[in-house]
Amino acid sequence: MFGERPIEMGTLGHEVPVLRHIRSNSVYVSLFQSAFPRRREPKDVISFETVGRAIAAFQRTIVSANSAYDKFVAGDRPALSAAAQRGLRLFRSDRMQCATCHKPPFFTDAVGTPHFHNTGLYNVDGAGGLPGPDQGLANETHKKVDIGRFRTPTLRNISVTAPYMHDGSMKTLGDVVDHYASGGRAAQKGQPSPLRSTRVQGFEITSAEQGDLIAFLNSLTDKTFLSAPRYQTPYR
């Protein structure tokens, strides 16, 4: 809420109007009163402490584990279409190596100790540079080797979260697969990033295989999770 580098929620410097806004909302007043019943003073019921606790408590309930892929893993083999099953094998293959970074069950290697990778999206200066001020992990470490390295995002529910990549520069999952197949988007212009991961060096893929891989990515969509009333706005 208060982060400045980068600004996420922009609360810093706007504490008074933000609290006033939440406190003037009757839906939130009653929800906070029932969540924090022992606090008597109105200013203690809705404060940045209780707002932070409420958000944290909510986030801990956000668990998505009922996709077709999850059912398949739990033993319901027909839950995953034949195409998606072929796509899963490609996803885990030595040729494509997706699963080495997007590790099941979370489809990321950022659980616990986060790992950061350069997928070769950009090479604006011949040295692997990115356009604009966001140079990835290097913005924090100031090391050249960290330019363009980003935390591996989860792929759960990936079909509903376009556009893709840290800067939203890819519209479709097809664009993303083309990016990896070419050894990083920068390589499509003949200028692969010298900083790209050894695991993003490009591979052959047929259009049928591309369809299978995307069918697998779509099988990570958890419709019961996405439509569950408890994750919807309280203003219903």
- By CB under 6 A, name the binding residues for ligand HEC: 96-98, 100-102, 117, 119, 121, 150, 152-153, 155, 158, 161, 164-166, 173, 176-177, 180, 197, 199-200, 213
Q: Considering the complex, what minimum distance in angstroms separates the CB of residue 25 from ligand HEC? A: 31
**Is the peptide bond prior to 6 cis by the omega test (within 30 degrees of 0)?**
yes
Q: Which is nearer to ligand HEC, 46 or 214 (CB)?
A: 214
Smallest gap from Cβ 50 to ligand HEC, in A, equals 31
* Nearest distance from C-beta of residue 195 to ligand HEC, angstroms: 12
Q: Which two tokens stand for residue 147?
A: 């330019």
What's the min distance (Å) between Cβ of 102 and ligand HEC?
5
Q: Are 165 and 227 in contact (CB under 8 A)?
A: no
Residue 46 or 212: the one with the smaller Cβ distance to ligand HEC is 212
| Residue closest to 184 by CA, chosen among 163, 203, 171 | 203
Closer to ligand HEC by CB, 46 or 121: give it.
121
Whole-Å CA distances, 125 to 4, 128, 186: 28, 6, 11
CB-wise, 46 or 173, nearer to ligand HEC? 173
Residue linked to tokens 């099988």: 219
Give the residue among 30, 54, 32 at the shortest CA–CA distance from 45: 32
